[in-house]
A and B are shown apart, each in its own frame.
Chain A
Amino acid sequence: MRFARNLHLTGSRFVNRCKMATPVTAVLACALIAAGTAVCSYSGFGEYWRLFGLVCSVLGAVGVIWLGWYSLRLVEAITSIAQKIADSGSAERIENEKLNVIRYPLSIVKELTGTITQQLDSYSEHTAELEKHLEDLQIHFRLSQRQKSNTEAIIYSIRDAVIVIDESDRLSMANNAAARIFNFDLNNAQHKPIDELICNDQEDQARRQFVDFLLQGRRSKVRGARHEIVLNISESTEAKTFDCIVSCVYDHSEQVCGIVAVLHDITREKELSQMKNDFVSHVSHELKTPLASINAYSEMLLDDEAADEQMRKEFCSVIQNQAKRLNRLIEDILNISRIESGLIKIEKQPLSLTILIEEQYQMIKSYAEEKNIEVIRQKPIVFDQVYADKDMLSQVIVNLLSNAVKYTKSLGKVEVETQVNEIEKTVRLSVTDTGVGIPEDEVAHVFDKFYRVGANKSQAKGTGLGLNLVKQIIEKVHDGSVFVESKVGVGSTFGFELPLAAAVASAAS
């Protein structure tokens, strides 16, 4: 604006002076030409007047020619200046150049060029500032791009599924986990309607509910809402449970511009929770059963319902046995807890497995005989001594023996043997039964806490703790390993491997 004003002022002065000089010269020249011509053409004048007229004409012509030349040079000068200004491209002062033009009105030209160059300087500075600003913006843009890429990389690598939809209910962003769960192509999913992407013409009620939940969440501008969804993932047949949390995305003007949903796989937590509930329910039942006997028989004694002294003694005996049974169950639960938390007191000593087997056989002998089950104890050739806690190892052996008898039908067979591996310096104890067997898909879980084989649950009572206790004692306390082999309808072999006492002793020394 200032440039235009300055230019206008300078240009006006220049033009005004030119206006003054040029018309005067032009009028003079023309007057001379006209006078000269008139004098020459008037026959009344003498020769000298005609000569004078000719000279005036010539002078006039020269004046015109000079005017033309002057105008041309002016234009040349201005053109040259403009060219030099264009070529210089910087704040170089043009007036210092020796321009090959007439001196007058060079000062006007100087003023003009001065203004132009001044303005150009200003523009150059401004351009430099803008260039610097552009560079800063580019740097910021690159930084933002990198931050965006980093954020996207984080989101893509999260195990939980993340889905972001915009205000038009179209997919704005999703990570690999989401694409896997809902089975869509991440590369082609951007800006597709979310219900088309997720429901995908399927009749799945759960997917429909999830989409409705998302859309409802966006419309109600929810800050955070939860929903549990069970989905069948396409890559496996097992249904998985997801905990979905949705939250609206707000822009700078506090308007909802979308919704973000995070789906966390809680299948395992649900399973564990269910197992825990089952366990609590089952343990409660197991604890209440002996308590029921204790309570009932105590009442009978108090109400003098026993017919005679023998019956009274029988009642007292039942109360006592049931109290012991209750105690055993509580001990089992506590032992497992203690072993897991590392609080149990361990007293290891050299022990013969064969002797322990014999001792524990006596505990289950009557139970086996009731069911007409033969329990064969093989005697090893080599001395099978291990370095272990006696109470714990006894518990392990009695658990394995009682399980074998429990899950074997009448007239079945249980075989116990130990094998020493002198090269590996280990001993292997195995208990083989001709019982119901365990399905292939459940074999891997039999040592899990609370786990009971589904098909066998109705076959016999149990807390699901016995084998877990075996595993904890052998592996955690004695650095051994447990194993199981089984076939449904044929039977099972449960056992463990422990280092020989000699090996433990030599390792210690």
Chain B
Amino acid sequence: MTERKVLVVDDEIHIVHVVAIKLRNNGFKVISAENGAEAFQLACQEKPDIIVTDFQMPLMTGLQLVQKLRATEQTKDVPVIMLTARDFAVEDEQKENLRISEFISKPFSPKELLRSIEDVLYQRQLVTEKQ
């Protein structure tokens, strides 16, 4: 089975680090970025199977990153999980338009994040097999 690739995006280096260790310990390949611009470039180059991104980041927010991904042919279908410490919820309409698979609020459990990533990838696999 091909190693699945995860792009982790967060301006908090410690978060990126802990998520990377957890995922690597569970057989994932991890690439990371500290901001949206860097993340977009990596997404186009590396074509990750899934992107885990923070909501609030300098220069380009998580939502802006996803908007850009959905507007680009090569990245429009990549599943996205969003981490957020914000106390307001993103509107359902926005979630639907941007096709964000899941919102996980901070502080989060690395175990649960891993479970969510595996669920999303499994669902994606089922859809791909049906097609």
CB contact between A297 and one of B14, B87, B106 (< 8 Å): that residue: B14
Q: Given the interface contacts A285-B56, A292-B85, does A318 sit within 8 Å of B111 by beta carbon?
A: no
State whether B58 touches A296 (Cβ < 8 A): no
Does A459 sit within 8 A of B, measured CB to CB? Answer: yes
Q: Which residues of B contact A288 (CB under 8 A)?
A: 85, 106-107
Q: Interface readout for B103-114 with A: 1 if CB under 8 Å, 0 if not?
A: 000111111000
A318 touches B14 (CB 8 A): yes
- Name the distance in Å between A115's Cβ and chain B's nearest Cβ: 97
Contact present for A300 and B22 (CB under 8 Å): yes
Contact B15 A292 (CB under 8 A): yes
User: A280 at interface (Cβ–Cβ under 8 A)?
Assistant: yes
Q: Is A146 engaged at the interface, CB distance under 8 Å to the other chain?
A: no
The minimal Cβ–Cβ distance linking A396 to chain B, given in whole angstroms, is: 25
Task: For the complex formed, measure the closest distance between the CB of A276 and the CB atoms of chain B, giving whole angstroms.
Answer: 13
**Is the C-beta of B71 less than 8 angstroms from some C-beta in chain A?**
no
Known: A295-B108, A300-B110. Contact between A322 and B87, CB under 8 A? no
Cβ B85 vs Cβ A297 within 8 A: no
A303 and B18 form a contact (CB under 8 A): no
For residue A458, CB closer than 8 A to chain B, the reply is: yes
Residue of B nearest to A281 (CB): B87
Residues of A contacting B21 in the complex (Cβ-Cβ under 8 angstroms):
300, 305, 311
Chain B hits for A292, CB < 8 A: 12, 15, 85, 106-108
Looking across the interface, which residue of chain A has its beta carbon closest to that of B11?
A: A461
B14 x A284 contact (CB < 8 A): no
The yes or no answer to A294 lying at the interface (CB within 8 A) is: yes
Residues of B near A289 (CB, < 8 A) are 12, 15, 85, 106
Tell me which residues from 107 to 129 in chain B have a Cβ below 8 Å from any Cβ of chain A. 107-111
Q: Does A77 contact B (CB under 8 A)?
A: no
State which of A285, A300, A459 has its C-beta within 8 Å of the C-beta of B58.
A459
From B17, B25, B59, B107, give the contact of A294 (CB < 8 A). Answer: B107
Most buried by B among A281, A292, A458: A292
B residues in contact with A90, CB < 8 Å: none
A106 at interface by CB-CB < 8 Å? no
A19 CA to B102 CA, complexed, in Å: 125
A291 at the interface (CB under 8 A from B): yes
B85 near A285: Cβ-Cβ < 8 Å:
yes
In whole angstroms, how far apart are the Cα atoms of A366 and B127 in the complex? Answer: 49
Contact A284 to B87, CB < 8 A, known contacts A318-B14, A322-B14, A459-B58 = yes
Cβ of A460 within 8 Å of any chain B Cβ, yes or no, is yes
Whether B106 and A291, one on each chain, are in contact in the complex, defined by CB atoms closer than 8 angstroms, is yes
The tally of residues in B whose CB lies under 8 Å from a CB in A reads: 25
Contact B109 A285 (CB under 8 A): no
Q: Fill in one digit per residue for A272-287: 1 if any B CB lies within 8 Å of its CB, else 0.
A: 0000000011001100
Asked if A358 is at the interface of the complex by the 8 Å CB criterion, the answer is no
State how many angstroms separate the Cβ of A293 from the closest Cβ of chain B. 4
Q: B56-108: which residues lie under 8 A (CB-CB) from chain A?
A: 56, 58-61, 85-88, 106-108
- What is the CA–CA distance of A303 and B87 in the complex, to the nearest angstrom? 28
Check A293 against B18 for contact (C-beta < 8 Å).
yes
Residue-wise, chain A 294-309 has the 8 Å CB interface mask toward B (1 for contact) of 1111011001010000
- Closest-CB distance, B65 to chain A (whole angstroms): 13
In the bound complex, residues from chain B placing their C-beta under 8 Å from that of A294 are 107
Q: Are B109 and A284 in contact (CB under 8 A)?
A: no
Q: Which residue among A296, A303, A322 has the maximum number of chain B CB atoms within 10 Å of its CB?
A: A296
Q: Known contacts A295-B109, A296-B109, A300-B22; decide if A284 and B85 are in contact (CB<8 Å).
A: yes
Q: Considering the chains assembled together, what is the distance between the CA atoms of A297 and B25 in angstroms?
A: 14
**Roughly how many angstroms separate A294 CA and B60 CA in the complex, as a whole number?**
25
Q: Say yes or no: B106 contacts A458, CB within 8 Å.
A: no
Instruction: Tell me if B106 and A460 are in contact (CB < 8 A).
Output: no
Q: Is the CB of B18 within 8 A of A297?
A: yes
Most chain A C-beta atoms within 10 Å of own C-beta, residue among B11, B14, B87: B14
Q: Report the Cα distance A322→B14, complex, angstroms.
A: 9
Q: Is the CB of B22 within 8 A of A458?
A: no
- List the A side residues contacting B85 at CB < 8 Å: 284-285, 288-289, 292
B86 & A285 in contact (Cβ 8 Å cutoff) = yes
Shortest distance between the CB of A307 and any CB in chain B (Å)? 8
Is B87's CB under 8 angstroms from A299's CB? no
3 pairs of A and B residues whose beta carbons are closest in the complex? A288-B85, A295-B107, A292-B106
In the complex, besides A281-B86, A293-B15, A461-B58, 20 extra interface pairs with C-beta distance below 8 angstroms are A280-B87, A281-B87, A284-B86, A284-B87, A285-B86, A288-B85, A289-B15, A292-B12, A292-B85, A292-B106, A293-B14, A293-B18, A295-B108, A296-B15, A296-B107, A296-B110, A297-B14, A303-B111, A318-B14, A459-B58
Can you identify 5 A-B contacts, CB atoms within 8 angstroms? A284-B86, A295-B109, A296-B107, A296-B109, A461-B11
